[in-house]
């Protein structure tokens, strides 16, 4: 599958399916989180960037109250929904992402009637690269424009998050939608998840002779179930016992006191968040002073913290990280929610082939599924592309 979305082709496929041209085509990217994992719902800091893999939606408004939705993935069937009966029960499978956004926008009073929608995404799903947020942000950007809603990008972030939380049922934070909506070419987004204030931080890897490789382990995860919500619950417990609104309010100097108040497991969860927040701040400072070549140790320390304290890594992610580091990577870590998905490695461009081959070989030797390995660089955020 080509990584780049071809707007003309998406419009053509829409026309082939629905027999008419779309009103427009909008795209929103997936993301890699450079550092700052599980800090978002703790009102802390994150530093993601958008990648050049995106979800594109072609949409045409209809005169009635019917939505017809079709995706280039999976079963080639068109889902038809009467929007007057739109409820959690009528939003099934992949349609929960676009319809969830429509549902939230309508809750906010945005007038959205019937429409035909065709989705084509090049963000691999279940890979920890925010395939779901990419769909939500493309749809939110499209209807914001089509319905003249004039919502700000920060408001659209919250629309996407609400769709994810209330319709899809995943208790996620604002990292993914913020990356998809706020990113620009050549920059990472430094975001304070408490205030939603953000700053674009230059991230010119090529000028430093570097690149970031994504290793999609093909170990699939879902955040609506299991470990993700358990981690969130531990963090909320930690904040409650410590008597603060969110773990954002605990600093490294508070950790000895926290260790006396919390059970050992909760303490380790808290320690990850507290140290990870500091690593995000340090990464931003080091990037400004020394450029991307100087942040490797922070990335690797982040992985160790997720592996040992937050316990969200898995053998495939650890192998990808360790093998990259043993073959010349400056730093490496898992990225995204964890329990599978992708790792990233910051490497000198000159060792790309060596690192790729070593990881492929290590996975083969361990009997793991063949990983998908590809380079990414900071790409633009959500926008109309046709
Ligand atoms: C997933 C969630 C985000 C964030 C990350 C972990 O991607 O959707 O909100 O919590 O995990 O950093």
CA of 222 to the centre of ligand 1 (A): 11
**Ligand 1: does its nearest atom lie under 6 Å from the Cβ of 38?**
yes
Output the pLDDT for position 221: 73
CA of 37 to the centre of ligand 1 (A): 7
What band does 76 get if pLDDT is binned at 50, 70 and 90?
Answer: confident
Question: Which atom of ligand 1 is closest in space to residue 39's alpha carbon?
Answer: 12
376 pLDDT above the threshold of 90: yes
* Per-residue model confidence as pLDDT tens digits over 122-162: 999 989 999 999 999 999 999 999 999 999 999 999 999 99
Q: So which residues are the catalytic ones?
A: 176
pLDDT beyond 80 at 30 = yes
Q: Is 37 in the pocket of ligand 1 (CB under 6 A)?
A: yes
Q: What is the pLDDT of residue 223?
A: 64
Residue 224 has pLDDT above 60, yes or no: no
Confidence of residue 88 (pLDDT cuts 50, 70, 90): confident
| Average pLDDT in the chain | 96
- Which residue would you say has higher pLDDT here, 75 or 254? 254
Give tens-digit pLDDT for 295-339: 999 999 999 999 999 999 999 999 999 999 999 999 999 999 999
The model's pTM: 0.97
Q: Which domains, from first to last, does the chain contain?
A: 7-201+380-384 (3.30.230.10), 203-376 (3.30.70.890)
pLDDT digits (tens, 9 = 90+) for 255-300: 999 999 999 999 999 999 999 999 999 999 999 999 999 999 999 9
Residue 350 has pLDDT above 90, yes or no: yes
Ligand 1 centroid vs 176 CA: distance in angstroms? Answer: 7
pLDDT higher than threshold 90 for residue 89: no
120 CB within 6 A, ligand 1: no
User: What mean pLDDT is predicted for residues 225-232?
Assistant: 90
CA-to-CA separations, 111 to 87, 106, 259, 334, in angstroms, rounded: 16, 6, 51, 41
Q: Tell which atom from ligand 1 comes closest to the C-alpha of 38.
A: 12
Q: 139 and 101 in contact (C-beta within 8 Å)?
A: yes
**Nearest residue to 359 via CA among 213, 203, 219, 226:** 213
pLDDT at 222: 67
- Per-residue confidence at 74, pLDDT binned at 50, 70, 90? confident
- The CB of 337 under 6 Å from ligand 1? The reply is yes
Which ligand 1 atom is nearest residue 174's CA?
Answer: 9
> 233 C-alpha vs ligand 1 centroid, how far in Å?
14
Query: What is the rounded end-to-end Cα distance, in angstroms, of the chain?
Result: 21
Mean pLDDT of 348-374: 98
Give the Å distance between the CA of 334 and the centre of ligand 1: 12
Residue-level pLDDT at 225: 61
Is pLDDT of 111 > 60?
A: yes
- Ligand 1 atom 9: residue of nearest CA: 173
pLDDT score at 2 = 65
Q: Does residue 67 have a pLDDT over 80?
A: yes
Query: Which among 34, 37, 40 is the best mutation to test ligand 1's pocket, defined by most ligand atoms within 8 Å of the CB?
Result: 40
């Amino acid at each position: 599958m080509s990584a780049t979305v071809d707007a003309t082709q998406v419009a053509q496929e829409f026309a082939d399916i629905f027999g008419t041209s779309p009103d427009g085509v909008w795209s929103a990217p997936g993301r890699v989180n450079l550092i700052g994992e599980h800090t978002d719902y703790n009102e802390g800091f994150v530093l993601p960037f958008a990648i050049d893999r995106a979800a594109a939606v072609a949409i045409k408004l209809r005169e009635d109250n019917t939505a017809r939705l079709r995706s280039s993935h999976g079963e080639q069937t068109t889902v038809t929904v009467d929007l007057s009966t739109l409820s959690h029960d009528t939003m099934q499978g992949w349609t929960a992402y676009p319809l969830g956004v429509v549902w939230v926008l309508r809750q906010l009073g945005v007038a959205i009637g019937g429409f035909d929608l065709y989705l084509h995404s090049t963000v691999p799903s279940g890979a920890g690269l925010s395939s779901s947020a990419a769909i939500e942000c493309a749809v939110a950007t499209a209807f914001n424009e089509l319905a003249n809603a004039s919502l700000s990008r920060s408001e659209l972030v919250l629309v996407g998050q609400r769709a994810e939380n209330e319709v899809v049922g995943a208790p996620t934070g604002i990292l993914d939608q913020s990356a998809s909506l706020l990113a620009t070419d050549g920059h990472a987004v430094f975001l304070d998840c408490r205030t939603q204030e953000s700053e674009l931080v230059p991230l010119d890897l090529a000028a430093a002779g570097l690149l970031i490789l994504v290793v999609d382990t093909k170990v699939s995860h879902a955040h609506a179930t299991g470990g993700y919500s358990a981690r969130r619950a531990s963090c909320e417990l930690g904040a409650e016992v410590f008597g603060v609104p969110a773990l954002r309010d605990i600093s490294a100097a508070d950790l000895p006191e926290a260790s006396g108040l919390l059970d050992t497991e909760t303490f380790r969860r808290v320690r990850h968040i507290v140290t990870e927040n500091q690593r995000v701040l340090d990464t931003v400072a080091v990037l400004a002073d020394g450029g991307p070549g100087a942040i490797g140790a922070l990335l690797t320390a982040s992985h160790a913290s997720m592996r040992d304290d937050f316990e969200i890594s898995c053998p495939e992610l650890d192998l990808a990280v360790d093998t990259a580091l043993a073959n010349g990577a400056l730093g490496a870590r898992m990225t995204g929610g964890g329990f599978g998905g992708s790792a990233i490695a910051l490497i000198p461009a000159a060792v790309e082939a060596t690192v790729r081959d070593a990881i492929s070989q290590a996975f083969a030797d361990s009997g793991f599924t063949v990983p998908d390995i590809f380079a990414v660089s900071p790409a633009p955020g959500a926008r109309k592309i046709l």
